[in-house]
Chain A
């Protein structure tokens, strides 16, 4: 089984809809991250969490919110999706400077 899993893997939604992307990990790491990948822009940090009670905004947090339900679960929400949030979203965990990425969720907002 994969150490970092993301659901769904693909999602198509409409402008204005609320959507949640979920991330689970079995690595036992405290630190979890959400990154967004756009072609030609690399990855940008949306939110990160150092433990269940410690959540922080990244570079591009506007329009997103997160919830750390447990050490193993970190969800990303788009309260009202817009087309420029169409992207590939990655969850990651880290330990001693190593980032472990999930397989990604491809989100399309029409």
Chain B
């Protein structure tokens, strides 16, 4: 069984400030972890993913996330927020391996809406 909890349904930052979106997961097997972004009226776009290689994962648009097994966390960060970062962000988990049958069968968090103020 697996689950994802995103702490904070809304996060507001000023332009140029640090962005920190929190994600904690629960998984009975080693997980793959993902962050997706959804802009208004669009589908989800993959930001980055962790698949048991480097624990610090760099994604698109300057975002990165660090896998911390001891804390069961996969928080998303960006050093300096831009107005274009305003969107909803989803953390997701799937079981690693399993012969590939887990691919696409993600469990999503409830989402965090990021607002960026000028």
Contact = CB atoms under 8 A, between A and B. Distances in A.
Interface in B11-53: 32, 34, 36, 41-46, 49, 51
B46 A98 contact: yes
Contacts of A58: 105
Closest 4 A-B residue pairs measured CB to CB? A42-B108, A101-B43, A94-B104, A43-B108
Contact of A42 (B41, B51, B101, B111): B111
A13 B72 CA distance: 43
Interface of B: 4, 9, 32, 34, 36, 41-46, 49, 51, 90, 92, 94, 101, 103-106, 108-111
A99 B90 contact: no
Contacts of A50: 101
A99 B104 contact: yes
Interface in A83-107: 90, 92-99, 101-104
Nearest to B90: A42
A33 B44 CA distance: 13
Contacts, number: 59
Given A31-B103, A40-B9, A94-B103, A101 B108 contact: no
A40 B43 contact: no
B109 A42 contact: yes
Contacts of A78: none
A50 B111 CA distance: 27
Contact of A98 (B9, B49, B90, B110): B49
A44 B43 CA distance: 14
A12 interface: no
Contact of B105 (A42, A48, A95, A98): A48
A20 interface: no
Given A42-B108, A48-B105, A104 B43 contact: yes
Contacts of A99: 34, 36, 44, 46, 104, 106
Contacts of A103: 41-43
A52 interface: no
